[in-house]
Every structure is written in structure tokens, then in C-alpha cells.
Structure 1
Amino acid sequence: MAATPRISRRTLLRGAGALGLAGTTGLAACGRPVDTSAQLPDVSGGDYDGPPITLQFWNGLTGGDGPVMRKLLAEFTAAHPAITVEMYAIPWSNFYQKFPAAVVSGLAPDLGLMHNFQVATNAARQVIVPLDPLAEALELTESDYLPVVWGSGLFQGERWSLPLDMWPDSLFYNRRVLADAGLDPDAPPTTGEEYLSALETLRSNDIQGHWLPAIDPQGVGRGFDSLLWQMGGELYDAEGGQALFGSEAGIRALEWQQGLIDAGYSPTDVSGSDGNVAFKNDQNAFIWGGPGALINDLAKVEDLDWDVAPLPRIGPNRAAFSGSHQFVLMRQREFDPDRISAVVTFLRWITDNSIGWASAGPVPARLPVLQQPEFAELEAQSHVAEGVEHIRFYPLVPGIAEVQTTILYPAIGDALLGQASPADALARATEQASFLLSENLTKYREVR
């Protein structure tokens, strides 16, 4: 079968941008429905053995993880000379606008990589397609993944994405700062009591040990998520129509964060980048954050003595926010069997070789990969992996990322900046979020 014509990246992105997706669904702004009649061809069989073919792969890997993925793509092409994978890295915020527009315009890439908390939204938009046949062809099984990771690609009874990795928020600690304060750098705190005790010792040595990014809602918000779950709370109800973070558990979580500032363990009015700079200059002991960015960032700093461990258990339960990069297949007006066969060949190779992706910082999603000797050699990633059994993901609700970033996280920042009490900030955010969630249930139902 003749291959679908490919176009240049400049033309493709210009066409996607011209469509100007507006609003949260995007598709309505284009004034054109997505054709959902095209069906995936048979994906059974072995590796692709057709003529030379080039796949387009879109993602948001514009940081230090981008070169790692490009290296893997080069290794894949060396092993499969007939398949070239052209990678277009677009900042994530632009990616989530441009690729649905490309689908509507008939200029969709072959596959993409997106965050797990965006999968349900784009499944509801029908700009990606179910992947159950691909998962079967790749012989991926539930036993190879943590239940929360395996389930993260399921929406309304179908699989819409394939997990590549997991990146739980973890405790990064400056060993030299701890040692200089008389603390054991080989025994980072594992409980709330140990954590506050370490912070008090650091304060007595004129070190503010935990710089809470109050003016960086994204950074402080994910810490709140972890604490909420540790306190026994939930972000939303099972249907995704009601926010629950204003509960007593949520208030306790936010009061704990506020207490770090009140006690002088954290400066006021700082950002996540402020905390990172202080950490690198031995002025800060602890950072809560994901391994994808921090591991490579900290490793570049000469003479910085640091390590990483799972988040301490502040509440009664162990829990940590985690995200995951997931492969998706973009909806096409017509699916070319050759292209789908090449995509399956690529996905089979990269899921089997995801140990190479671990060097970018994340922990591979497939549990057998974590047992490989090569993974044990990645010391920081191995320490992060010690806590993956307790990771939590956002629920599979369309529009959930928007609710988190535009309503909940700014409310947390307001409380930490002293503009509202934790209870008042969360109560207001709960009301606003529940209204938006209710609207989303209707909006995305209409899209489907």
C-alpha cells in the first residue's frame, strides 16, 4: 500500500498553529469533527519488513531528556534500518494544543508521548485511538507493571496509552549539608518526626532545610498531593465530578506545609528554582521533586554531594505523587498498515530497551527492567525505585490537569503566601473545581 504523504515539520506546525485550538476541548474551535470511522489494521505478526518508511513522533521532551530519546531512536534505526523515526520535540503546553489540531487537519503524526494525566482528556476528544490490539501484539501483560501504572492507560474500558516510565516525587538531599549539621548523610529521614527533627537541627545551624516553593504552584502543588494522600484523603470522587481536597485531610496537608514556613524551616516567597540554586550551593538540605529533571540537573554540578530516597511518610500512609510518560497513537483519517506495523515494531523495541531511557532520570515502567543489572548501576534511579510501590496518579478524568493547575495549585500558593487560611483557600478551590468538573462531564460527554 502506498505510504501516506509526509510533509515538513515547518509546514505541519504552521498548519496546526493556524487552526488555533481554543478552550479545553480544542476540537470545537476548529469547527470540524474528527473522523472516527477509520479502524486500525491488523497488527499481528512480527517486525516490519516492508520498504523504507519514516514515522513522525511528537513529544514535549525539550529538556535534558530529549537527547536521551534521540539516542535511543538512533539505536532503534541501527537495529531496524528500514524504519526512521523523526522526533519533533515541542514544549508540552504547545504540544497539547498543536497535535489535536494536526489530527483535525489530517496532518497528524504517527505517534506521540504524553503525560498520563492527559490521556483521558485526549481519549474523550477522540484525537488518539484505543491500543488494545497493540498491547496484545506487543505481549504486554499486567504482571509486568504496578497496578496503578497498568491501569493508567485505561479509560472507559479501553486502553488508550502504553506506559514508558514513572517519575515519583522523591526526597533529594544534600549530604554535605546534613553532615555539617551533625546529621547522618547515610540515613535520610523516613518519617514525619525524623523529618521535622532534622529540620530543627538544621535551623539551629542557620540552615533553612526545606525551601517550599510557595510562588511556584506546580512545585508546591505536587507536594500537597502527596501529603493529602498520606493523610488518607482523595483529590476527587470516583466519577470525577466532585473535588474532595477541601476535606480535613487536605487541610492537615496544607497546614503541614504552612508550618514549615511558620517554623522558619523554609524562607517565604521562594520559587522552585530558588530552592534548586540553594541546594546546589549547600544552602539547603532537601528538595521534593521528580527524578526526570532533577537527577540529570544535579549530576551536572561539580562537587555536589547529593543522593535521593523515597519521600518520608509524614501522615499515616505512604504515598507520593507520580507522573508517567505514555505512548499514544494519533488518530488518522486512514490508517496505513505499513505505518502501523512500523509503529508496533518501534514500540516493541523501546519497551524492551527502556533501560536506556532510565538514564534520562525516570524509572522504567516495566518491572522486569528494574531487575536488570544495568538498572542497579544507576544509583539515583535505583533509590527512587525503592518507593514506587506507593506511587499515586491523578484519576483518569478528562480535564483533570486543568483543574489541578488552574484552581487547586494557585489556591495552595495563596495559603502559603498568607493570603488565605488553608481551610478557606481549599474551600474556595473545592467549590470552583467542582463547578468546572461538572462542566467537564457534560463537555467531554458531548465530544464523545
Structure 2
Amino acid sequence: MRQTSLPTRAPGRRRVLGGMAALAALAATGTGAAGCAAPAAVGAGRTRVRFWHLFGGGDGVNMRTMLEAYRAAHPEIALEASTLQWGAPYYTKLGMAGVGGRAPEVAALHLARLPGFGPGTLLDPFDLDLLAQHGVTEEDFPADLWRRGRIDGAQYAVPLDTHPMVLYYNTDICEKAGLLAPNGRLAPIRGTEAFAAALRAAGKVTGGPGLVVETLGADTIGPWRLFSTFYSQAGGTLLDENATRVTIDDAKAMKVLRFMRRLTEEGLAHHRVDYNGTVGVFGGGETAFLLNGEWEVSTFANLELPFSMARVPNLFGRPTAQADSHCFVLPHQRDRGGETNEAAHAFVAWMLRHTVEWAKGGHVPAYLPVLEEPAYLDLHPQSEYRSVIDDVALDPPAWFAGSASTMWIELGAVLSGVLTGSRTPRGALEEMRDRLQALLDTPDPLGGDA
């Protein structure tokens, strides 16, 4: 089943746009979520810090463990953590709270959704001096992830992790297919022909396709994540750096689209399978490889499946992989400041420094010192693909991009057809271009510049 990075059913375009339009209306009237205010301190001098997040499943378990550890270490803080419904409902409620200036002290957000979330209106910037007092500075993060949290010279998001597409592999099948190196890990694969050869070799062992990847389903987004990974490896872009113009490179896109079609057309990958089906096929030992987000690591570990994980092979020239990042943000409060605000910054810093527990769910910690801790390096297979932190391919900074966004859903539907055979690569390319242009022509419901 899907973990927190991707929901079982992503919201449709009308639902996303409608929710964001509602926020815009709230912003115009100055109204917001009522009853959300909190005093700076509660009970016996304890400072109150509220944290809203959207982590369920295995991520929810890991987050609760971290929060309990924080409470035990900080008895002077009254931490109130709320888990809200994933996706559009979460962002709508968080935005409403920010519009009213009566939001929680800290919240989780997907980094790629930051440009469409009203920095300066719905979010307050971090005080970097306060973070530094608690041992967290810009130098502790990958440069690109940190930069994406900065808008108009202010830092509105501090990255918690990155959750990239990775390659799961069944070690028993790969061993029989001669695909493992002497150290027991997957031997290096580079280029489309080498990958196709590996899939054929694995298929001879199982008697079926060597790879499974999501190809269809209601509001499917797996095909988009696959295309984004390969297209970024080819060096292609969707939009310019200001997200104002479509910049698709036809030659690079067609090379990727034809390869995607080849995967299913030649029987190298399963032809028609939804998200849950991919988990069942790989978890049942029916195929050697799965391309998916890293958050299913707990699922397969609980099945006692003989598997490991690796970075997506470099097939098109660059070792990148599609990814998003969970981050911490400060929802807008009319009177942010004082002890509560300082406690919020201290909470974020503490959570970042203690992300080994978070990494158990597969996510790669964004706080770089954790990547060198023995406790993290002892996590297998979670630490096997940690170097991808420097090669993540984030969405363009557009209001309609980011995890489970309108762009993912619309392009996922188009790219699904390439994998199932209902669209030609050329037809899909033209439809992708048209849909991106339509999104660009749609005003940002929150009135932002992105």
C-alpha cells in the first residue's frame, strides 16, 4: 500500500483547484480557521508548541517515536502533534489556518508545493539566527534542497528529507540471473541497453517480465515519476526557471517516451498494473525489479522478502531521480514571536538532528551530519542509496507542481497511455505540452508569482 509520500487516490484537478480557490477567497476576506489560537505558555510555565503533519502508515509510526523522544527530552515544552488527512484536505486546512493568522507553530509541507502555498501570506519565514543557536545552519543541507526553500531572500522551508524514486531488487532472483556483484549488491547498470539486458536475464529466471512499475489506475502518478526520472537524466526540463514557459526538449523527451513504450511492448515490464498491484507483484517474488518511491521498504521488510535497494540506474546520461522533499514550515501567525516562536525553531532543529528514526521508513535525511552517523549507516537497505541526496530532480517551481499535484495527475494520465499502448510517444508529447500550457495559463489561485 502507498505510504505518506503518495496517497492511494490523489485528488483530481477540480478538487485541487477548488481547494486552492477557496483559500484565495479566504485570503481576500481576511477570515480563516476559527478556534486555532494558542497561548504562548500553558500549565506550570510550559511553552506550548503545536505541530501539524500528514504522516500516516509506517511514516506515522516513525514520526510518533520521534515526537515521544522529543517530549521525554523536553519536559518544559507542551508539544501537541496533530495528524491530518493526507493531500488536498491537509493543505486546505493548513492554508485556512495561515490565512486567519491562527495557525500551529510548525507544520510539515512538501517542498515542491512551497511556491503555490503563499510564502509571506500563509507562511512565515524562519529566523536563521535562531536555528543556528540550536546547531542548524545552511551548510548542513544539500545546496539545492536548501535553495528551494528560499523565496525573495527569506527561508520559508527547512528540508527534513528527500524521498526519491529508487530501484528495488529481489536478491535471490538477481543472483540466479547473474546480476549481483561479488559483494552481494546489484552490479552497476548503465545505459538503456544494459538495463534491458538485465530485465531479460531476470525474466528468464521468473518466466515473466523482469520489472514492475505502475502503469495505470485512477489518478495514476507513477508514470509521471518514471518519466520525470528518465527525462531529468537526459538533461531535459519542463518549464523555465521561473515556471512561466514550457521548455520541453522534443528530442530528449521522445527518446525517453520511446524507451518507456519499449519496456511494456517488449515484455520487459508488466503491461497493465496499478500501484497496489506493483507492490503485490514484487512482494510476491514474481519479478526481480520494482521502480517506485523508497517508502515501501517497511512493507517488503515485513514480508521477509529477500530484497535490497539501489539508486535508479543512469540510463540517459545523468544519475538523477525524481524526488520531492518533506520540509518544516512556519504557518502564518499574526503575533509570531517570543518564547513560542523560539521553541518552534528549537523543535525543528532537534527533529532534524534526530532523523535516524525517520530514515527507517526509507527517506534520506536532508540534515547531512546524520548521513555519517553509524546508526544510519547500519540501516540496510536504507543507507544504500543515500548518495542520491545530491542528484534529486525536483519539480519546477510552479504553483501546480509538487507531490500529488495537478501537474502530476494530468501528466500521469497522459504517460499512462504510453506504457499501456493507448497513446503513441509522439501523441503523448504533444498532449503533455498542451496540458502544461493550460496549467500555465491558469492563474495561481493564491495570486503568487510562480
TM-score, L = length of structure 2: 0.85
Residue equivalent to 1:47: none
Shift of 1:213: 1.4
Alignment RMSD (CA, Å): 2.5
Residue equivalent to 1:57: 51
1:92 aligns with 2:91: no
Residue equivalent to 2:110: 115
1:170 paired residue among 152, 166, 169: 166
Shift of 1:142: 3.1
Q: Which amino acid aligns with 1:172?
A: Y
Q: Check 1:77–1:370 CA distance in 2 against 1; reply closer, same or farther (3 A cut).
A: same
The answer to whether the 8 Å contact 1:21/1:29 transfers is no
- Listed one character per residue, the Cα deviations across residues 366-392 of structure 1 (whole Å, up to 9, x for unaligned) are 111111111111121210203322222
2:292 paired residue among 289, 292, 298: 289
Q: For 2:161 and 2:288, locate their aligned partners in 1 and report how far apart those are by CA, in whole Å.
A: 27
Residue equivalent to 1:33: 30
Q: Percent identity?
A: 26
Farther off after superposition, 350-359 or 277-286: 350-359
The answer to whether the 8 Å contact 1:246/1:423 transfers is no
Farther off after superposition, 164-173 or 195-204: 195-204
Residue equivalent to 2:197: 197
Residue equivalent to 2:39: none
Residue equivalent to 1:268: 271
Shift of 1:52: 1.0
1:347 aligns with 2:348: yes
Q: Which amino acid aligns with 2:430?
A: A
Q: Which amino acid aligns with 1:156?
A: D
Q: Which amino acid aligns with 1:33?
A: G
Q: For 2:140 and 2:291, locate their aligned partners in 1 and report how far apart those are by CA, in whole Å.
A: 28
Shift of 1:181: 3.5
Q: For 2:56 and 2:299, locate their aligned partners in 1 and report how far apart those are by CA, in whole Å.
A: 14
The answer to whether the 8 Å contact 2:107/2:329 transfers is yes
Where do residues 388-407 of structure 1 align in structure 2 (5 Å cutoff)?
388-401=389-402, 402-407=405-410
1:24 aligns with 2:23: no
Q: For 1:447 and 1:391, locate their aligned partners in 2 and report how far apart those are by CA, in whole Å.
A: 24
Partner secondary structure for residue 88 of structure 1: strand
The answer to whether the 8 Å contact 1:25/1:125 transfers is no
The answer to whether the 8 Å contact 1:189/1:198 transfers is no
Q: For 2:120 and 2:309, locate their aligned partners in 1 and report how far apart those are by CA, in whole Å.
A: 38
Q: Which amino acid aligns with 1:111?
A: V
The answer to whether the 8 Å contact 1:125/1:447 transfers is no
Q: For 2:63 and 2:357, locate their aligned partners in 1 and report how far apart those are by CA, in whole Å.
A: 9
1:238 aligns with 2:241: yes
- Listed one character per residue, the Cα deviations across residues 328-355 of structure 1 (whole Å, up to 9, x for unaligned) are 0010122251211221221221122222
Shift of 1:403: 4.3
Shift of 1:82: 1.3
Q: Check 1:394–1:137 CA distance in 2 against 1; reply closer, same or farther (3 A cut).
A: farther
The answer to whether the 8 Å contact 2:131/2:345 transfers is no
- Listed one character per residue, the Cα deviations across residues 64-85 of structure 1 (whole Å, up to 9, x for unaligned) are 1111111111111111101122
Where do residues 85-234 of structure 1 align in structure 2 (5 Å cutoff)?
85-93=79-87, 94-124=89-119, 126-133=121-128, 134-184=130-180, 186-192=185-191, 193-205=193-205, 206-216=207-217, 217-234=220-237
Shift of 1:102: 2.2
1:434 aligns with 2:437: yes
Q: Check 1:135–1:445 CA distance in 2 against 1; reply closer, same or farther (3 A cut).
A: farther
Partner secondary structure for residue 29 of structure 2: coil
Q: Check 1:396–1:132 CA distance in 2 against 1; reply closer, same or farther (3 A cut).
A: farther
- Listed one character per residue, the Cα deviations across residues 16-65 of structure 1 (whole Å, up to 9, x for unaligned) are xxxx9934343223352379xxxxxxxxxxxxxx9213322111101211
The answer to whether the 8 Å contact 1:58/1:89 transfers is yes
Residue equivalent to 1:14: none
Where do residues 226-375 of structure 1 align in structure 2 (5 Å cutoff)?
226-245=229-248, 247-291=250-294, 293-302=295-304, 304-375=305-376
Equivalent pairs, count = 414
The answer to whether the 8 Å contact 1:21/1:97 transfers is no
Q: For 1:260 and 1:427, locate their aligned partners in 2 and report how far apart those are by CA, in whole Å.
A: 21
Shift of 1:326: 0.3
Q: For 1:280 and 1:330, locate their aligned partners in 2 and report how far apart those are by CA, in whole Å.
A: 39
Q: For 1:290 and 1:392, locate their aligned partners in 2 and report how far apart those are by CA, in whole Å.
A: 13
